Amino acid sequence: MTPADKPAADDLLRTLDDFNLAPWQREFIERVLTVETPAATPPPRELAAPVLDVFVPGVPQPQGNHRVSRAGYTYEANPKLKPWRDAVAIVARRAWLGRAPLDEPVAVDVHFAMPKPKRPKFTRPATKPDADKLQRAIGDALETAGVVTNDSRIVLWRVAKVYPGSNQPTGARIQVRPAPTEAPDPAESTPTTGGPRP
CB 174 within 8 A of CB 110: yes
User: What are the residue boundaries of the structural domains of the chain, listed by start?
Assistant: 47-64+74-181
For residues 81 and 86, what is the distance between their CA atoms, to the nearest angstrom? 8
* pLDDT the model gives residue 197: 45
The conformation of residue 152, written as its DSSP 8-state character, comes to G
Global confidence as pTM: 0.70
| Res 70 pLDDT > 50 | yes
Beta-bridge partners for 110: 159, 174
* CA separation for the pair 55, 62 (Å, rounded): 17
Residue 80 pLDDT level (bands cut at 50, 70, 90): very high
Region 71-88: what's the mean pLDDT?
Answer: 84
Mean pLDDT of 143-153: 98
Task: Pick the closest to residue 54 from 145, 125, 133 (CA basis).
Answer: 145
Which of 108, 134, 137, 113 is closest to 124 using CA atoms?
A: 113
Instruction: Compute the average pLDDT of residues 161-183.
Output: 92
Query: What pLDDT is recorded for position 196?
Result: 46
Q: What CATH code would you report for 47-64+74-181?
A: 3.30.1330.70
Q: Which residues partner with 159 through β-bridges?
A: 110
State the chain's mean pLDDT as an integer.
Answer: 81
Tell me the mean pLDDT in the region 31-60. Answer: 73
> Taking residues 81-109, what's their average pLDDT?
96
Residue 109 has pLDDT above 80, yes or no: yes
The closest of 162, 142, 165, 164 to 153, measured between CA atoms, is 142
